[in-house]
Amino acid sequence: MDSKVEMFFLPNVIGRGHILSAIDTARLFAAQGAKITIIITPAYAQLFQKTIERDQSRGHDINFHIFKLPTSDFGLPDGCETLLAASAGIMAKLYMAFEKLHEPIEQLVRERRPDCIVSDMFHPWTADLGARLGIPRFLYYVTGLFPLCCEESLRRYAPHDKVNSDAETFALPGLPDDNIIFTKSKIPYWFKDKGTGYGQLVDEVIKSELKSYGVIVNSFYELEPAYAEYFKNEMGRKLWLVGPVYLFNKADEEKAERGEKNSIDEAVILKWLDSKQPKSVLYVSFGSQSSMAPEQFLELAHALEASGCPFIWVARDMLEYGQEEKEKKGGNESRGKKLPEGFEERMTKSGQGLILKKWAPQLLILEHANIGGFLTHSGWNSTIEGIGAGVPMITWPFIAEQFFTESLVVDVLKVGIRVGNEEWSSYIWEPKLTVTREKVEAAVKWLMGGGGGDEVEEMRRRVKQLSEKAKKAIDDGGSSNADVIALINELKSRRTNFANNL
C-alpha cells in the first residue's frame, strides 16, 4: 500500500471564509506528508491555482478534483459561488446546486477509498457517506471552540427560554467561565424559532458531528484551553486543533494573494501605511459575508471621519449585497451603499483614510507595525488573524456565531472592546441603524486616541502574548503542529490495523 495517508477535503464552496480556512488546513496536512485531494468547483480552482502550484513545487502531494456546479439549473451564472456576500436567495440556490454533486462525489470516494474525509459543517450528508463506506469522516469547523461550547450551553440548558424579554440578560450555564452574559437579541434565531429551515440544517450538523470520527478546528490550545477540555470531556468529542492555519502563509506573496485579487495593489497600501505612525492606524473590515444596511454604512463613515484616526476601510459597495432583491424591485439602485458627499476626496486629500472597495490583503495589513486596532465583525477567520498579528479589536458582530466570538475576545481573552451592537441579524440587511456614529467614534477614540489609557496598554500586552503563542503553536513542536502529525499517525495506524485484520 502507498505509505502516504490520503485525505479528501470537502470545503463549503458557498462561503469565502470557509474555503480559505479549509484550503490552508489541507495545505498544512500536505506539508506533513499526507496526500491531499481538495474537492472544488472550477471558479475556486482558478482562484487558488497559484497557491496549490506553489505547494506542489515544494514537493507537497496536493491537488484539486474539480466538479462543475450546476448553477444553470437554478438560473445562476457560472462561477457565482465566488461572489462576496451573495444574497440569501443566491446562497440557497447554490446550496441546492451543490446537492446535485452528492452522487458524483460519492462515486469518487468509492473509487479512490481515501483514508478519511474532512468535511465542512455544511455537508452533514458526508457523515452517512463515511459510515456506509467505512471511511472516517472528520467534521471541519471554521469557527473556534468557545462559540461551539456556547451553542452547546444554549442547547442543553435553554437559559434564553427563562427570560421575559429580548433585552433581559442571562448567563450561559455549564461553561468554564461564569461571566458569559447574553440577551435573546444577541443569539441566532434558530435557537428561538425551532424548526426553521436553517435550524433544521443546524440540527443535521450536530447529528453529523456525533456520527463523525472526530472534529478538526482552526484554533490552538493555548487560546482557549478550558474550552478544549470542555469540548473533549463534557461534550465527548475527539478533537484536533490545527490553527491558526493562516500562519502557514509565510511569504508576502502568499499573504497578498490569499483569497482574491486585491482591489488596490498591495504595494500602494503598504506605502500608505508606511507613512503613518506606529500603531496609529485602525483597520476596518467586516469580512466577506456580513452585510450592513446603507444607513449604517453612512453612519460608520461619519464616525470614522469624526474620530480623526487614520484608517483603512474595506468598504465594499452595496451592489454586492441584495442584488437579487433589488432586481425583484425593478432594478432600483437607490438602496445602494453610498459614502457621504465628498468623503473619499476629503480622506484622500487629508491622508486620514484609505478606502478599498472590494478585497484587501488582510494578513499583510494586520501584520504592519503601524496598525494599532481592528474594527471587525468578529468572524472567526478575522478574529484569529487579528490575534495572530497581535492587534486589539473593536468588535461589531452581525450574524452566525459572531456574538459568541465577541464574548471570547472581550470577556475571556480581554483583548477587545464592544462597539455596542445589541442585535443579531440575518444575512439580509434591514434598513435601520443598530449602532450610532457616537458609539463608533467613542470606541475608536478609546482604543486608538488615548481614551482607554492603561487599559489599552494592558490589552496590547495580552494580545501580543497570544500572538506569540499562536506562532509557536503552528511551528515545529507546537501544539497545533503536534495535532496535525498525531492525526496523520492515527490514520496510518488505523489503516495498518485494518490491513492486519483482513
- Enzyme catalytic residues: 18, 120
d(CA 222, CA 235): 19
Give, for 483, the enclosing helix (H) or strand (E): helix 479-500
3-state DSSP assignment of residue 35: strand
Question: Which set of grid coordinates corresponds to residue 444?
Answer: 475608536
Residue 65: which residues within 8 A CB-CB, separation 6 or more?
A: 37, 38, 39, 40, 108
Rounded to the nearest 10 degrees, the angle between the axes of helix 380-389 and helix 453-474 is: 100
Q: Which of 40, 3, 22 is nearest to 242 (CA)?
A: 22
Between strands 169-171 and 181-183, the pairing is antiparallel
Integer-rounded Cα radius of gyration of the chain: 22
Return d(Cα 191, Cα 152) in angstroms, integer. 11
Handedness of CA 101, 102, 105, 110 (dihedral sign): negative
Nearest to 193 by CA among 232, 216, 166, 221: 166
Q: How far is CA 281 from the centre of its chain?
A: 23
For residues 81 and 102, give the distance between their C-alpha atoms in angstroms, rounded to a whole number. Answer: 17
Upper half-sphere CA count for residue 137 (Cβ side, 13 Å): 26
On whether the CB atoms of residues 62 and 55 are closer than 8 A, the answer is yes
Helical packing angle, 42-57 and 16-31, nearest 10°: 30
In angstroms, rounded to a whole number, what is the distance separating the alpha carbons of residues 350 and 310?
Answer: 10
Check: CB of residue 81 under 8 Å from CB of residue 44.
yes
Euclidean distance between CA atoms 24 and 22, whole angstroms: 5
